Structure 1
Amino acid sequence: MKKLLIIGAGGFGREVLGYALDIKRENRDWELYGFLDDNPDALDNYNCEYKVVGPIHDHIIQEDEIYVCALGDPKAKLKIGRDFKARGAVFANIIHPTARIGRTSVYGQGLIMCPYSIITENVKIGEFNTINLFSGYGHNAIAEDGCTLSSHCDVTGYAYLEEGVFLGSNVSILPGVRVGKYSRIGAGSIVLKNVPAYVTMFGNPAKVIC
């Protein structure tokens, strides 16, 4: 049985801890061990039974460990995840018991699916993706590595998220729309047209604001 280490002891890391503990023991091949965080005091003000067991930046990969990257920022998540993986780390998929994955869909390692999230049919999800509460992908959607969906997001059929896209809460991506790499879509936005790379959009309909 491997030891699960959560990378990042911030707010989302603590949420992921709870979701991981919801998975029945017979359905997992790891036991929770603790957090990695460069701030050793990150959990001091919280009632948490698991501790920060070491920093992220100089962690030595161990064969008896498995990891999950609980960082919200796509760039940081991909940088750390890829660095760990290049040094031999294996990443767990934390899929909450209430989440659903269609039988024809595929996904990479490091996937986090929060309660009531969904991947429907013929969806392709890359590595280190996060799908938060009540969010999901419609049929034939694609998400490259490192995308983050905040809560209540709807990525509809045939939509395409390039690497490192971040969606704020309650964002809707209309069918067939492509969102360029590392773009950020503000909370509550509805995206009607293709989005360039490296921009921030907000509104209904969503427009580039920077």
Structure 2
Amino acid sequence: MTEQKIDIADLRREYTRGGLRRADLTAEPMDLFELWLKQACEAQLADPTAMCVATVDESGQPYQRMVLLKHFDAAGMVFYTNLGSRKATQLAHNNRISLHFPWHSLERQVMVLGRAERLSVFEVLKYFHSRPKDSQIGAWVSQQSSRISTRGVLESKFLELKQKFQQGEVPLPSFWGGYRVVIDTMEFWQGGEHRLHDRFIYQRQDAGWSIDRLAP
């Protein structure tokens, strides 16, 4: 490893875009999430629906990757993936999951803890056929997380399948599906001056949601 050229220990800045007060909170965490996501879209952030998805393998080793949120409502948050992928294999063993939305330029973060549940074939099929055709074909091409020799393997397979499905509908692959994350906990983080950040945590209770402020 070459000698470090940048002194990262001194890289810091003040967070000055505003605070988060209890009066700003909603009774349901998804209502506040919807507002923040809307503001992230209006701010034209790159990939505002991108979230870091964390799962754990059988040995307890955590893994993370960026995935796009495709739907959310009171029932939870939805994403799609190859069912043979590393994340799907790990969720089959342990369905506990964490999501993280890093909206850096707004000085905001949202963290989610919950349980991943497989979507029905009907839900998956409905979304699959709403995708661009090339994306549908791409789902057939990639055996996600498997080892391949070169990128050319993917490209040649894509061209082969594009020709095959040139006419007519692309069928849903049996190995492609989705998950709904049933939320137990949501934490909202807003940067603050002097590192006095604002953090509020929502935790599901039998009668609704408890809300607590956390120290930064």
TM-score, normalisation: structure 1: 0.21
Which structure carries more helix by proportion? Answer: 2
Which structure carries more strand by proportion? Answer: 2
